[in-house]
Amino acid sequence: MNINIAIIEEPDEPVAARLRSELPGVTINAGTTEAEVLPFCAQANVIMGLAQSITPAMVSSAKGLQWIQALTTGVDPLKAMKELDPKIPITSARGIHGPQMSELAFLYMLHFARDYEQIQRDRAQKNWERRPQRLLMNKTVVIIGVGVISEDLARCCKAFGMRVIGVSARTSAPNFDAIYPRQRLKEAAALADFLIAIVPLTPETHGLVNGEILDAMPRHGIFINLARGPVADENAVIDRLQRKVIAGAALDVFNIEPLPQDSPLWDLPNVILTPHVGGKGESYVEQVMPLLTHNVRAFQQGRMQDFKNRVQR
């Protein structure tokens, strides 16, 4: 089968160049913006890119489109795209982001545990103050969503001596001390020094972390969202931070991205904001390449039933 792939890629993650070296003979055209990639879509039967970067115009231009490979775990923008024929398969990059997501979670947790912001203020003022230091050891982390990424995070948490509780339909997973069903999320949140959302966005998880869940957390608790913005009620998060119902939040995802300039989150002192970088990492191309080459070869040989990470629609 002749394959013509249009890729919209991140400037620092050159997927196309590596894919060309792995798959000689496959036509691969790439750019970093819709304007650059759009002309290639007319001849493409495959589109690749971050789910949020693949636009309706790109999909509409690809009259011969047969498959979309998302370079992200989440594919909700594609599932919601009315221009995309529901018969066209979507595959995701689920399962490859464990190391970078886990490290970002630890950046957040250590920042709050050690009050790193105060340390930087002391440094700026040349103030030598030996403040109390909280440890992660013996703290409880509650992870909403138990999958490949959460398993990697749980492993790292246990190495730090933390207690790990999951919230999932699953009943067991490596390195989890306990797993609660979703109906007991409020009960689990009450135990959380750190409450971390790593769950797909679905109708069932939309607004899952609401005011009631945040109110159940200890006052010293930290909420971390590495999932999708709408998994948490953003207004409820802002309100609980302003009233100090919880001690802080670390947010990598938001209802609207980029985060609007007038969002109160920018000015709250007890918040860490990162611009949806949870899945990024210097080794991303190496991590994703085995998945991409497997799926392209399966497509080339007419074995679409052998796709890895095929999304249920």
pLDDT, tens digit, 9 for 90 and up, residues 257-283: 999 999 999 999 999 999 999 999 999
pLDDT level of residue 313 (50, 70, 90 thresholds): confident
Protein fold of 4-95+282-306: Rossmann fold (3.40.50)
Count the Cβ atoms, other than its own, within 10 Å of residue 295: 23
User: DSSP letters along 195-207, please?
Assistant: EEE-----TTTTT
User: Do 4-95+282-306 and 98-273 share a fold?
Assistant: yes
Instruction: Respond yes or no: is residue 257 known to be catalytic.
Output: yes
Domain ranges of the chain: 4-95+282-306, 98-273
Query: What's the sign of the alpha-carbon dihedral 147, 100, 81, 225?
Result: positive
Tens digits of residue pLDDT in 212-264: 999 999 999 999 999 999 999 999 999 999 999 999 999 999 999 999 999 99
φ, ψ (nearest 5 deg) of residue 12: -95, 10
Amino acid 1: pLDDT: 79
Q: Which of 13, 228, 234, 240 is catalytic?
A: 228
Q: Which of 257, 286, 303, 313 is catalytic?
A: 257
Instruction: Respond yes or no: is residue 276 known to be catalytic.
Output: yes
Across 51-73, b (16+ Cβ under 10 Å) vs e yields: bbbbbeebbebbeebbbbbbbbb
Q: Which of 94, 97, 240, 276 is catalytic?
A: 276
pLDDT level of residue 72 (50, 70, 90 thresholds): very high
* Radius of gyration from C-alpha coordinates of the chain: 21
Q: Residue 209: what residue type?
A: V
φ, ψ (nearest 5 deg) of residue 129: -130, 115
CATH architecture of 98-273: 3-Layer(aba) Sandwich (3.40)
Identify whether the C-beta of residue 194 lies closer than 8 Å to the C-beta of residue 224. yes
Nearest to 62 by CA among 33, 38, 80: 38
d(CA 149, CA 205): 17
Considering the chain, what percentage of its residues have pLDDT values greater than 70? 100
Amino acid 243: pLDDT: 98
- How confident is the prediction for the chain on average, in pLDDT? 97
